[in-house]
Chain A
Amino acid sequence: MDPHVLKKLNLERASRRAAIVLTDLGDGRDRLIGEGDEVAGDLGEALASRFRSGKSGIIAHGERELFANVHLPSPRLAIIGAVHICQALAPMARLAGFDVRIIDPRTAFATPERFAGFDLAADWPEDALKSRPLDAYTALAAITHDPKIDDFAISAALEAGCFYVGALGSRKTHAKRVDRLTEAGLSGEQIGRIDAPIGLDIGAASPGEIAVAILAKVVEALRSRGEVGNG
């Protein structure tokens, strides 16, 4: 691999831009192609389709065998609530390959000491999500247990088409939430996408166990919507 290709690739990945490393398996030459770069003909179409699916693989190009290694931006997890569960969920999600962002306006919880090395916003979701909006490559877990903080973020995630939206709380709590969100104008279909009570039903009790249950559902949602990113 050309060292310049590796450097450029790592730069693109750090900037959350999609890129393909195209390697000629015959002579070993490689080049980097960014999403939106002009590539003519059949090869251009094959590459565009790879960008869409996120799947790496071999492209037959005339006599040559080209390997397209697709690097899509890694999925994000926005955690609303810098609570005890978040202290377990944030590092676990990072290990699983997610870019983690933590949002909580309560400065008692959202301290750099509790979340060293993490992207932490001690702001209301209304404000924090303005600088970095949610998108289809983002999952959202609302775990403050406080409707004043959670509800806006949940609505925003459903509107943005986040691939996963989960909300902490019992069935009773969720029923009240459904009423509020309906009143706020969200459709039954949108509300039906909320994973609540949050997480895979494994009888999780401790914060660490609940984090495992949440992360399991996030990964399931990511992988069932098609490959996004390839580690």
Chain B
Amino acid sequence: MSEPDPITDLDELATAERWMKAGREVAIATVVETWGSAPRPAGSHLVIDEQGNLAGSVSGGCVEGAVVAEAMDVIETGKPRMLDFGVADETAWEVGLSCGGRIRVYVERLG
């Protein structure tokens, strides 16, 4: 594979492997369930390293910040977590999906 280009290289799983090989700690977040008008389908990934670098997406940008914060804990403890995001779910999470959908995101450490 040639040098990665941040604009054309949209493959987050290839990015995850590259980061891992470079010795970076990596967490993988995956949309496992959606209800209503969710922005990204089940199976979509957001890949996060211990510095907070991102690749991919699990929403249109609405919940990525919260997922990154959780991913930091997951990287540290190695324990996977399930996150629920919905609209007007202010007590559980400070962020919600403006589109009105609901998603479940599974966050796990790579390795």
Partner-B contacts on A (CB < 8 A): 1-3, 6-7, 9-10, 13, 23, 25, 28, 55-58, 67, 69-70, 91, 94-95, 97, 117, 227, 230-231
Residues of B within 8 A of A3 (CB): 20, 110-111
Where chain A touches its partner, the secondary structure class is mixed
Q: How far is the CB of B70 from chain A (nearest CB, A)?
A: 15
Q: List 9 A-B contacts (CB under 8 A).
A: A1-B108, A1-B110, A1-B111, A6-B17, A56-B42, A57-B42, A67-B30, A94-B8, A97-B10
Most buried by A among B10, B33, B43, B80: B43
Contact status A67-B106, CB under 8 Å: yes
CB of B16 within 8 A of chain A? yes
Q: How far is the CB of A186 from chain B (nearest CB, A)?
A: 36
Contact status A56-B41, CB under 8 Å: yes
Tell me the residues in window 77-110 of chain B with beta carbons closer than 8 Å to chain A beta carbons. Answer: 80, 82, 106, 108-110
Contact status B33-A10, CB under 8 Å: no
Q: How far is the CB of A118 from chain B (nearest CB, A)?
A: 11
From B32, B43, B111, give the contact of A70 (CB < 8 A): B43
Where chain B touches its partner, the secondary structure class is mixed
**Also in contact, A6 and B13, with CB within 8 A (given A91-B8, A94-B8):** yes
In the docked arrangement, what's the CA distance between A94 and B10, Å?
10
Contact status A58-B33, CB under 8 Å: yes
Contact status B108-A28, CB under 8 Å: yes
Residues of A within 8 A of B16 (CB): 6
Tell me the residues in window 46-89 of chain B with beta carbons closer than 8 Å to chain A beta carbons. Answer: 80, 82
Q: Considering only CB atoms, which chain A residue lies closest to B56 in the complex?
A: A231
From A23, A55, A57, give the contact of B106 (CB < 8 A): A23
Residues of A within 8 A of B109 (CB): 1
Q: How far is the CB of A25 from chain B (nearest CB, A)?
A: 6
